[in-house]
Amino acid sequence: MSTATQPLRFYPLRDSATMLRRNLKHMLRYPSMTVMLVGMPIVFLLLFVYVFGGTMGAGLGGESAGRAQYANYVAPAIILMTITATIQGTAISVAMDMAEGVIARFRTMHIARVSVLTGHVIGSMVQALISLAVVIGVALLVGFRPSAGVGEWLAATGFLLIVTFALVWLAVALGQVSKSVETASNLPMPLVLLPFLGSGFAPTDSMPAGLRWFAEYQPFTPIIETLRGLLMGQAIGANAWLALGWCAVIALGGYLWSKKLFNREFSG
């Protein structure tokens, strides 16, 4: 056998593109998950606009208080919820994937290992973009009237992609750390609930002291405020930097954690 040591090359981009195609095909073959994930924020949107909207809108105060004003208030939170729903799907599909024998096959192959994970990350971002388009479309139909111009919309889209990128890496780690698909669907639940415990559905100054403190300092509040600022033409202030800082921390942490989990000893 030849023992000559030729340099072994890796092709992370090419392998990631291959894995992305694999994940996109999975989504096409298993559309019920995509439908469920985009359905959840739409149900919440309809619930909050039509069931709670009248009362909640009155509570916001101001001369034009009412359902229409609440639709504008709650839409950014629902948009963010679209992302958290998508990453719940990411965690589930990563956990399902890790239980499949084909992952063991990938581990015995000379490929760029991270491509298994980047395939999921980019696939989820594509899915998130589609879901976001659908949810924003429905929001516009039920009375969401953003004041954003083209520039603000582009900035908002870029910002949403950054938020998605960060949360998806976290979800990839959560999916790997889960021993079962059930755990994988439960672990990201706090992320789905966090917008409620922030400025997503009600202003933080209406909350009791302890909760208010938490709501103001948790990552979703600056994220929602930045998005609200971009779409509704309000002042953003330091929120943008806080939000981007949180995203950087979450993305880096999620990436390092995911990589560590994927490289741990195979135990299948």
Partner 1 sequence: MTTHSAISATGLRKSFGDHVVLDGLDLDVAPGTVFSLLGANGAGKTTTVKLLSTLISADGGSARVAGHDVATEPDAVRASIGVTGQFSAVDNLLTGAENLRLMADLHHLGRADGRHRVADLLDRFDLTEAAGKPASTYSGGMRRRLDLAMTLVGSPRVIFLDEPTTGLDPRSRRGMWQIVRELVAEGVTIFLTTQYLEEADELADRIALIDHGRLVAEGTAAELKRRVPGGHVLLRFPDAPSLEAAARDLGQVTRDNDALALRVPSDGSVRALRDLLTRLADRAIEVDELSVHTPDLDDVFLALTGNPKDEKVAS
Chain residues in the site for partner 1 (CB under 8 A): 1-3, 5, 8, 11, 14-15, 18, 21-22, 25-26, 29-30, 100-102, 104-111, 265-266, 268
Give whichever of 110 and 151 is closer to partner 1, judged by the CB atom.
110
Minimum separation from the CB atom of position 89 to partner 1 (A): 14
- Which residue spans within 82-237 are E strands per DSSP? none
Residue 82 in contact with residue 41, Cβ under 8 Å? yes
Question: Does the CA dihedral 156-158-162-165 come out positive or negative?
Answer: positive
69 vs 127 by CB, closer to partner 1: 127
Q: Cβ of residue 29: shortest distance to partner 1, in angstroms?
A: 5
DSSP annotation string for 104-138: HHHHTSSS-THHHHHHHHHHHHHHHHHHHHHHHHH
CB 106 → partner 1: shortest distance, Å? 8
Specify the residue, 102 or 140, whose C-beta has the smaller distance to partner 1: 102
**Sign of the dihedral through C-alpha 40, 46, 51, 53:** positive
CB of 39 to partner 1, least distance (A): 21
- Shortest Cβ 258–partner 1 spacing (Å): 19
The single-letter DSSP state of residue 48 is I
**Closer residue to partner 1 (CB): 11 or 50:** 11
Cα–Cα separations (whole angstroms), residue 173 to 62, 168, 176, 226 = 44, 9, 5, 26
Shortest separation between residue 128's beta carbon and partner 1, angstroms = 20
| Residue with smaller CB distance to partner 1, 35 or 209 | 35
| 8 A C-beta contact, residue 178 and residue 95 | yes
CA pair distance 91, 173, nearest whole angstrom: 8
Q: How far is CA 125 from CA 12, 32, 90, in A?
A: 18, 18, 10
Nearer to partner 1, 24 or 148 (CB): 24
